Structure 1
Amino acid sequence: MPHVFEYALLRAVPRQDRGEFVNVGVLLYCADRQFLRCKTHVDADRLLALDPRIDLDLVQSSLRLWCGSCDGSTNAPIAGTTLGQRFRWLTAPRSTLLQTSPTHTGLTEDPEQQLDHLWRALVLPPN
């Protein structure tokens, strides 16, 4: 039986003033399956094309914190909240290096497989 899921893309926005971004990950939340995960990929060449001075190490470490917030492996206070609260907090609008797209919904029988599909289709560079 399919389950409702929500997802948002993680975007690296090197320069707020230009509004340009590169998709660097996807968050997927499925309440029915108690599933909240993040999958990332940083294309350094694409980010450096937007801003040659971007701190790629900062992008990577920030993404690790975001993913840790999803799976609860972080020591931050957010680990004590529900998965739904975490997803809402992570997808709240912000003006920082990492931002999320608007939230989208769908149906899936396998949230892990759906996360992988979205990651391949929307985050990895086209072949």
Structure 2
Amino acid sequence: MPHVFEYALVRAVPRQERGEFMNVGAIVYCAKLRFLRCAVAVDRDRLRALDPDLDLDTLDAALQSMCQACEGTGPMAGTSVGQRFRWLTAPRSTILQTSPAHTGLTDDPAAELDRLVTTQVRL
């Protein structure tokens, strides 16, 4: 039986004033299965085309923190899966932002995460 899931794409925004971004990951949340995971795929050369001075180490650290929040480690350890998803997808003005959350039905949220990274993040 399919379950409702939500997802958001993770976007790198090297220079906010230009409004340009590149998808670098995805987050999938399924409340019924208590599933929350993040997967990333960063094309460093494409990002450098948007901003040659982008600090990729800072981006990597931000992505690592985002994935830790999904796993429930680090500062987000004491929060529920739903709280973590809502915090991760809240609007922000930082180097990492997320798309609006979208919904769907799935039997396999991990497969949805793989599909999203394949179709929306990687070339």
DSSP 3-state at the match of 1:80: coil
TM-aligned CA deviation for residue 58 of structure 1 = 1.0
Instruction: Tell me the equivalent position of 2:107.
Output: 109
Q: How many Å separate the matches in 1 of 2:57 and 2:84? A: 24
Out of 74, 78, 82, the residue aligned to residue 80 of structure 2 is: 82
Alpha-carbon displacement from aligned partner over 1:25-84 (angstroms, at most 9, x marks no partner)? 000000011100000011001110000000111111110110010011x321x2111100
Instruction: Tell me the equivalent position of 2:40.
Output: 40
Runs of 4+ in 1 over 2 A off after TM superposition: none
DSSP 3-state at the match of 1:106: strand
Q: How many Å separate the matches in 2 of 1:96 and 1:61? A: 13
Q: How many Å separate the matches in 1 of 2:3 and 2:10? A: 22
CA RMSD of superposed structures (Å): 0.6
Instruction: Tell me the equivalent position of 1:19.
Output: 19
Q: How many Å separate the matches in 2 of 1:70 and 1:80? A: 12
Q: How many Å separate the matches in 2 of 1:60 and 1:116? A: 20
- Name the aligned partner's letter for residue 78 of structure 2: G
Q: How many Å separate the matches in 1 of 2:56 and 2:41? A: 12
- Name the aligned partner's letter for residue 66 of structure 2: W
- Name the aligned partner's letter for residue 23 of structure 1: N
Q: Mean Cα displacement is larger for which, 53-62 or 2-11?
A: 53-62
Unaligned regions of 5+ residues in structure 2, if any? none
TM score, norm. by length of structure 2 = 0.98
DSSP 3-state at the match of 2:37: strand
Alpha-carbon displacement from aligned partner over 1:100-123 (angstroms, at most 9, x marks no partner)? 001100000001111101110001
- Name the aligned partner's letter for residue 118 of structure 2: R
